[in-house]
Amino acid sequence: MRQTCKREGGDNMKKNNKGFTLIELLVVIVIIGVLATLATVALSSAREKARDARRVSDVKQIMTALELYYSDAGSYPTTIATNSPIAYSGVTYMAKVPGNPTPTTDCATSANAVDYYRYITGSGSAPATYTLTYCLKGSTGQIAAGVNTASQSGITQ
């Protein structure tokens, strides 16, 4: 009968190194957390810019509809309301006046606090002027952040 002798440090003494240590797992989790935070911040900024761009687009579309209305009626409408059409004598210039995109921008710190589209006409039953006030959270193109107005003369701050 043959006897076998096991040596120290032989095959039976190998460690099983299949897996990750706790430190390695924690490092990976921290890296994923940092990347997720950066992505959330970048996405939030992009959403804010998109809402402001939509506000500017909405105001320009309302201005166009008001000018078409004026061309046919000889005056601006006395009122316009969110979700209502801008129409005159059977002609619809804007099927539905858009509302402020949510979440709304808060310009309460400014003197002319407004967080939605506010339409004001000139005096009389056939107004010859209008002012549309709106607020931007950040600058968009050439339009600065804060309260801005649009009128028959164009967009101003």
Which domain range does residue 106 map to? Answer: 21-156
* Tokens describing residue 133: 């006030």
pTM > 0.85: no
Burial classification of residue 63, based on how many CB atoms lie within 10 Å of its CB (0-12 exposed, 13-18 middle, 19 or more buried): middle
> Which pLDDT score is estimated for 146?
84
If one counts the domains in the chain, the total is: 1
Q: Is the pLDDT of residue 141 over 70?
A: yes
Question: For residue range 82-137, what is the model confidence (pLDDT) as tens digits?
Answer: 889 999 999 999 999 988 787 766 665 555 445 567 888 888 888 999 998 888 88
> Which pLDDT score is estimated for 8?
55
Is residue 117 within 8 A of residue 157, CB to CB? The reply is no
Q: Specify if 114 maps to a domain.
A: yes
Q: Specify if 1 maps to a domain.
A: no
pLDDT-derived band at 16, boundaries 50, 70, 90: low
Q: Specify if 9 maps to a domain.
A: no
Q: Specify if 7 maps to a domain.
A: no
* Tokens describing residue 69: 């209305």
Q: Specify if 31 maps to a domain.
A: yes
